[in-house]
Amino acid sequence: MREFLLTLLITAAVTYLVTGPVRKFAIVAGAMPEIRARDVHREPTPRLGGIAMFFGLCAGLLVASHLTNVGEIFKTSNEPRALLSGAALIWLIGVLDDKFEIDALIKLGGQMIAAGVMVVQGLTILWLPVPGVGIVALTSWQGTLLTVALVVITINAVNFVDGLDGLAAGMVAIASVAFFLYAYRIWYGYNIEAAAPATLFAACLVGMCLGFLPHNMHPARIFMGDSGSMLLGLVLAAAAVSLTGQVDPDAMRLFFQGSERETVQATVPVFVPLLLPLTVIAIPTADLVLAIVRRTWRGQSPFAADRGHLHHRLLEIGHSHSRAVLIMYFWSALIAFGALAYSVNSASMWIVLGVVFLSAVGLVLLLLPRFTPRVPVWAQRFVPPRYRPRRRTAGAAVPVEAAATEEAGERAPVHAGISGVNGATAIGPRSRFVDRR
């Protein structure tokens, strides 16, 4: 565990330290696109944060290769080299897109090539545990297609959710921590060496996210861009492929009693979430599916950007930027760690009840802006202004106290005025409004 934690800290430190110079480089290079209709930030912000993440990944893998125990992974497996090859390719495509905004189909082709590069070097799904059937061995082309599909889906799921400051990095960090805990349990608890590469990948992924988050929290000083979001998605998918498709089911069966079918059924609650990490990144995947359905229903391209993502909807119903991000964090953690707890002890009813209770709490938090309390007149001075009822007067929202004052015939001084929320100011006895915008 100490060597994995050291790798995590080195990755986080390098990512954090390199992000500052990368921000200055992005400004000089002009990687600061203009504000688009779907953006929620107010001023141009540099991209290319994925450069710092890639340097952090390289530093983490370099340090890990010289450690005593973790270094054995590089001697017995080619998966770290496969990951680094695919990551370098997808990172390069992302950097070009952050600067020149290349076509969506070209990016999709690059994602498939990056996945293919990893498959050629051995990072592929070899078999699947299927409930009621047993272990299903995949042919070469079946494993290749499934691996490429998993990588492309995960990359685009993370890319689509990268719409608010700190959202994608935080959600991937949560998913990576849950993934790391399970992979370490398989490696250390069951002494299965094939799970070591996935544990290493998850540790590096946590470090990349934690090192970048301080620069990316609201208000963000730099965005990760496609160079960062696609890199995170690829590393997460590589960890899932390594653990699900590479761990020998026969080795797992040694720790369970019964037939092969019973063993598979006992391990399915964990393997299926890792096969298609819908529980680990369930929120980004749901957002991806909804976006594709929404855009194709309108006759648009599935890659056409819009403001219909889940985080946009949270802002529309009244959540602040920070609260919308925290709500997405909450749901991601609930699903990821709920699946992790269920995989450890699927027979415990307390886990199910706990998930149900926390889901109810999450729904209340989600709909909080809909619950606008009605505050009595005598208590309005004791609550924040947003909870006080307002009246519309000449296109501006005026508090009840101000409206009552005007109705009583009290004239506001010309130099003081009454300011409305829309930037209009009452300047005369008849409360004529002047637009200051």
pLDDT higher for 278 or 314? 314
Q: Which of 226, 243, 274 is at the close of a domain?
A: 274
Host domain of residue 43: 2-274
At 13-42, the pLDDT tens digits run: 999 999 999 999 999 988 776 665 555 546
Q: Report, as an integer, the average pLDDT of 429-434.
A: 39
Top-ranked range on mean pLDDT: pick from 189-193, 318-322, 343-347: 189-193
Whether 324 is covered by a domain: the verdict is no
What is the value of pTM for the model shown?
0.74
Give which of 314, 415, 291, 434 is closest to 366, Cα–Cα. 314
Whether the predicted pLDDT of 372 surpasses 70:
no
- Does residue 209 sit within a domain? yes
DSSP strands (E only) in 262-341: none
Whole-number Å distance between alpha carbons of 327 and 323: 6
How does residue 417 score in pLDDT terms, banded at 50, 70 and 90? very low
Higher pLDDT, 250 or 29: 29
Longest dimension (CA), the chain: 88
Is the pLDDT assigned to residue 388 strictly greater than 80? no
Same structural domain for residues 25 and 156? Answer: yes
Considering the domain architecture, whether residues 114 and 253 belong to the same structural domain is answered as yes
The mean per-residue pLDDT over the stretch 230-257 comes to 75
Is 226 a known ligand-binding residue? yes
pLDDT tier at 411 (50, 70, 90 boundaries)?
Answer: very low
Same domain assignment for residues 385 and 265? no
Pairwise CA distance, residues 184 & 237, whole Å: 17
Structure-token pair, residue 323: 């609260």
Beta strand ranges found along 251-408 (DSSP E): 390-393, 396-399
Cα 126 to the center of its chain, rounded Å: 28
Number of independent structural domains in the chain: 2
Residues 35 and 183 in one domain: yes
| Structural domain contains residue 29 | yes
3-state secondary structure of 340: helix
Q: Is residue 176 predicted with pLDDT exceeding 60?
A: yes
Condensed to tens digits (0 to 9), the pLDDT of residues 180-221 reads 988 888 888 777 788 889 999 999 999 999 999 999 888 888
What is residue 396's three-state secondary structure? strand
**What are the structure tokens assigned to 224, written together?**
């990760």
In a domain, 342, yes or no: no
What is the pLDDT, as a whole number, of residue 259?
52
Cα–Cα distance for residue pair 283/335, rounded to 1 Å: 9
d(CA 105, CA 213): 29
Element holding 386 (H helix, E strand): none
Q: Is 78 helix (H, G, I), strand (E, B) or coil?
A: coil
Would 54 be classed as within a structural domain? yes
Minimal CA–CA distance to 288: which of 139, 159, 131, 142?
Answer: 159
Extract the tokens encoding 23.
């921000």
pLDDT value of residue 194: 82
